[in-house]
Amino acid sequence: MTLMVDDLDRIEHLSTLIAEWSASFLKQVDQQSVAATNHPRPLDEPLAADGLGAEETFAEFKKHLAPGLSGSVGPRYLGFVTGGVTPAAMLGDWLTAAIDQNVMVAGDSISTAVELQVIEWLRSLFELDAAYEGVLTSGATTSNLLGMLTARQFAGEIQDIDIASEGIGKAEIEIFSACPHASIRKVIGFSGMGRNAITEVPCLPGSEEMDVAALEQLLTHSQAPGKIVIASAGTVTGTDFDDLTQTTLLCKAHNAWLHVDAAFGLFSRLVPKYKSLTNGINGADSITCDGHKWLNVPYDCGIFLTKHPTLLQRTCSVSAPYLAVSDELPSLMDRGIENSRRFRALPIWMSLKAYGRQGYRDLVSRNCEQASLLADWISKSSSYELLTPCKLNVVVFRPSESKSDVQQKLTEINQTGLVYLTPGNWFGTPCIRAAFSNWRTEKADVDIVCSVL
Q: What percent of the chain has pLDDT over 90?
A: 92
Q: Which pLDDT tens digit goes with each residue over 142-196?
A: 999 999 999 999 999 999 999 999 999 899 999 999 999 999 999 999 999 998 8
pLDDT band at 325 (very low <50, low <70, confident <90, very high): low
User: What are the residues whose beta carbons fall under 8 Å from the beta carbon of 249, sequence distance 6 or more?
Assistant: 283
Average per-residue pLDDT for the chain? 95
Domains, the chain: 93-350 (3.40.640.10)
Cβ neighbourhood burial of 380 (10 Å; 0-12, 13-18, 19+): exposed
Does residue 322 have a pLDDT over 60?
Answer: no
φ, ψ of residue 389 to 5 degrees: the values are -60, 145
What per-residue confidence (pLDDT) applies to 407?
93
DSSP, collapsed to helix, strand or coil, labels residue 308 as coil
DSSP, collapsed to helix, strand or coil, labels residue 103 as coil
Average pLDDT over every residue of 228-251: 97
Beta pairing, strands 198-200 & 173-177: parallel
Does residue 432 have a pLDDT over 70?
Answer: yes
* Contact status, residue 226 vs residue 171, Cβ threshold 8 Å: yes
What per-residue confidence (pLDDT) applies to 88?
98
Average pLDDT over every residue of 126-148: 97
Average pLDDT over every residue of 120-143: 98
Does residue 330 have a pLDDT over 70?
Answer: yes
User: What are the residues whose beta carbons fall under 8 Å from the beta carbon of 27, sequence distance 6 or more?
Assistant: none
Does residue 364 have a pLDDT over 70?
Answer: yes
What per-residue confidence (pLDDT) applies to 320?
62
Q: Closest Cα partner for 234 from 89, 379, 396, 447? A: 396
Does residue 24 have a pLDDT over 80?
Answer: yes
Does residue 328 have a pLDDT over 90?
Answer: no
* Rounded distance between C-alpha atoms, residue 186 and residue 261, angstroms: 14
Does residue 39 have a pLDDT over 90?
Answer: no
Q: Closest Cα partner for 437 from 371, 350, 355, 357? A: 371
What per-residue confidence (pLDDT) applies to 323?
61
- Compute the residue count for the chain: 453
* Contact status, residue 114 vs residue 349, Cβ threshold 8 Å: yes
What per-residue confidence (pLDDT) applies to 55?
98
Q: How far is CA 301 from CA 42, 137, 146, 293, in A?
A: 26, 6, 14, 9
Torsion of CA 450, 438, 286, 178, to 10 degrees: 10
What per-residue confidence (pLDDT) applies to 319?
74
The secondary structure element, H or E, covering residue 395 is strand 394-399
Is omega for the bond preceding 261 within 30 degrees of 0, making it cis?
no
